[in-house]
Homo-oligomer: A and B are copies of this chain.
Amino acid sequence: MTDTFPAPPAISSEIGYSTHDAIFVRGNNLATDLMGHLDFGSMFYLLVTGRRPDAAQAEMFNACLVALADHGLTPSAIAARLTLLAAPDAVQGAIAAGILGAGPKFLGVFEDAGRMLHTASPTTLQSDAEFEKSAGEIVADYRSAGRLLPGLGHPIHKDGDPRTSRLYELAKANGTYGPYMKLLEVVREAAEQATGRALPINAAGACGAVLCDIGLPVDVLRGVAVVSRAAGLVGHVAEEQQNPIAEAVWFGTEHQADSSRAPHSD
């Protein structure tokens, strides 16, 4: 006799379901309460948290999604274009290939910065002294483990990432500036003091802090970055469809490789 599997427990999902004449998403009537009432960024916030954002949260969430959507010919964008070259009829495959590059080295920084801040439970910190103590511990921990502090420093924008100052400006104006954004600033000061180097907060770090301050769970941050970048990837797909470059990238790579190969006699 084969081993039998018992009847599985019932399952539930609160995200969405349909009736004969209506569709509900997170408890809202999609057609009458959401479409035309809410921008896509706010819908995304609702899908992930189960709550509609208030106006300030929506502004910050949208600003982060806008900030991370594209950054030119990144490895992820190149991978998407090469995949489209090979399989032009499966656009979903090109986008999937691109977002598979949303790992720890690139978009994941975003999540790492959020997690770093989260370990200090910033919402429980009261005084400036408590923030400084937590920041000092974070910096010491990372340095003793030989790890880079996520969210600080940038290879190109050495004098400061312009997206970071914009996010802080918006948050201070609309009242969402909170303990995560503050702690990140204090961590940066502690890190600069400890290393003697300029370590500006980069956009990934700032977005990580902003999203925590507006109530996103840390575990979902990478997913937020993925959707933002997916929009950028569709931009690359659209451009590739009209002005293709993937074949030239491929040939360029072969050329790079070929010129390093010693000629042989046969």
Chain A residues close to B by CB (< 8 Å): 1-23, 25-26, 30-32, 34-36, 38-44, 47-49, 58-59, 61-63, 65-67, 69-79, 82-83, 85-97, 99-108, 156-160, 162-163, 165-167, 169-170, 217, 219-220, 222-224, 226-228, 230-239, 241-243, 245-246, 248-261, 263-266
Across the interface, do A103 and B93 meet the contact criterion of CB distance under 8 Å?
Answer: yes
Main SS of the interface on chain A? Answer: helix
Given A8-B255, A87-B102, 5 other A-B contacts at CB below 8 A?
A8-B248, A11-B253, A16-B71, A92-B226, A93-B100
Contacts of A69 on B, CB cut-off 8 Å? 25, 40, 43-44, 47
Contact indicator B79/A103 (Cβ below 8 Å): no
**A1→B22 CA distance, assembly (Å):** 11
Residues of B within 8 A of A239 (CB): 13-15
Contact B71 A75 (CB under 8 A): no
Query: Are A44 and B40 CB-contacts (below 8 A) given A13-B236, A83-B97, A246-B75?
Result: yes
| Total identical chains | 4
B31–A72 CB distance below 8 A = no
Q: How far is the CA of A226 from the CA of B165 in the complex (A)?
A: 31
Asked whether B31 lies within 8 Å of A3 as measured between CB atoms, the reply is no
Closest chain B CB from A59 CB (angstroms): 7
Q: Which of B11, B12, B75 is close to A83, meaning CB atoms less than 8 Å apart? A: B75
B99 and A95 contact, CB distance less than 8 A: yes
Contact pick for A73, options B44, B90, B245, B257, CB 8 Å: B257
The CA of A72 and the CA of B30, in the complex, are separated in Å by 12
User: Would you list 29 pairs from A and B whose C-beta atoms are within 8 A, ordered by A residue?
Assistant: A8-B249, A8-B251, A13-B257, A15-B70, A18-B71, A30-B163, A31-B163, A35-B163, A38-B62, A44-B235, A47-B238, A48-B238, A76-B83, A79-B79, A79-B83, A82-B82, A83-B103, A86-B107, A89-B89, A93-B93, A94-B100, A95-B99, A95-B227, A97-B97, A217-B242, A219-B238, A223-B233, A227-B234, A252-B256
Known: A18-B3, A95-B223. A66 touches B43 (CB 8 A): yes
